[in-house]
């Protein structure tokens, strides 16, 4: 029985939690969490520092180091009780990253292509021979990308400054991720239609066009990666 900490005495059924050291607890907490590596590391380090501070205070009260660490862990709470709060922050962090990416990258992509077309304009003859659908399809493509970027900005605001007004942040994050998966095939198809569906060849020089396509593809890849992670983190829990 502990003599140095009155009021605490293990019973016959000492739980696994009460027998854990801080390093073991922190490792288990880390394994229970999913999300951006940097944010996850910061949260785990924060929890570890809090545990060490509590253990040092208990040690100063008369407990030996092992007992102090075990009691600090027991008072901190079981991983199953603590992890949901940390996981909610990791999920929100993932949502903010996706929203920021969309809010910045999609308008930039639209502006980039607009600038390129102005730098390498088609001749009047080329425009005269474009099919009737070319202009409307181009405007629809720009509208989809700008709308998704705007929604990303709204979700970003809601997950940061407007957090008090969002009752279901997981739903907002999941809806944004779903929209990415819905919008990307559509925008990709429209982009291919504009590139190869017109009768006249496109007038972009090889290098600028290749660089623009590389940047656009990289943006799409990042969006798919972030959206997939958000879908995984906001998936309904299985019973």
- Of residues 24 and 210, more confidence is placed in 24
Q: Report the pLDDT averaged over residues 82-108.
A: 94
Statement to judge: residues 113 and 203 lie in one domain: yes
Of 34-43, 117-126, 166-175, the one with minimum mean pLDDT is 117-126
Whole-Å CA distances, 188 to 58, 94, 117, 138, 183: 60, 24, 18, 12, 8
59's CB contacts (< 8 A; 6+ apart) are: 65, 68
Does a structural domain hold residue 140?
A: yes
Specify if 189 maps to a domain: yes
SS3 sequence of 40-96: HHHHHHHHHHHHHHHHHHHHHCCCCHHHHHHHHHHHHCCHHHHHHHHHHHHHHHHHH
20-28: average pLDDT = 91
- Which of 33, 50, 77 lies at the terminal end of a domain, its last residue? 77
- What is the domain count for the chain? 2
Mean pLDDT for the chain overall: 84
How confident is the model over 40-70, as pLDDT tens digits? 999 999 999 999 999 999 999 888 888 999 9
The pLDDT value recorded for residue 134 is: 80
**203 and 117 both lie in a single domain:** yes
The pLDDT of residue 13: 31
pLDDT bucket at 9, cuts 50 / 70 / 90: very low
Domain encompassing residue 64: 17-77
Q: Is the pLDDT of residue 208 over 90?
A: no
Residues 148 and 47 in one domain: no
The pLDDT confidence band at residue 203, using thresholds 50, 70 and 90, is low
187 confidence band (pLDDT: 50, 70, 90): very high
Mean pLDDT of the region 7-36: 74
């Amino acid at each position: 029985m502990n003599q140095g900490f009155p009021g605490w005495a293990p019973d016959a059924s000492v739980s696994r939690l009460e027998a854990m050291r801080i390093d073991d607890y922190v490792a288990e907490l880390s394994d229970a969490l999913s999300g951006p590596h940097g944010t996850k590391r910061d949260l785990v380090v924060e929890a570890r520092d809090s545990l060490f501070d509590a253990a040092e205070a208990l040690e100063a009260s008369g407990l030996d180091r092992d007992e102090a660490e075990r009691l600090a862990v027991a008072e901190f709470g079981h991983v199953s009780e603590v992890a949901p709060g940390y996981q909610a922050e990791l999920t929100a962090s993932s949502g903010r990253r996706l929203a920021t990416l969309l809010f910045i990258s999609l308008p930039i992509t639209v502006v980039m292509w607009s600038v390129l077309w102005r730098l390498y304009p088609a001749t009047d003859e080329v425009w005269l021979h474009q099919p009737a659908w070319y202009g409307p399809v181009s405007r629809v493509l720009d509208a989809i990308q700008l709308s998704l970027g705007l929604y990303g900005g709204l979700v970003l605001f809601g997950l940061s400054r407007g957090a008090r007004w969002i009752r279901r942040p997981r739903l907002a994050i999941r809806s944004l991720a779903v929209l990415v998966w819905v919008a990307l095939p559509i925008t990709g198809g429209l982009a291919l239609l504009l590139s190869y569906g017109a009768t006249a060849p496109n007038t972009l020089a090889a290098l600028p066009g290749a660089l623009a396509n590389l940047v656009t593809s990289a943006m799409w890849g990042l969006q798919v990666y972030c959206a997939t992670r958000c879908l995984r983190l906001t998936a309904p829990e299985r019973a």
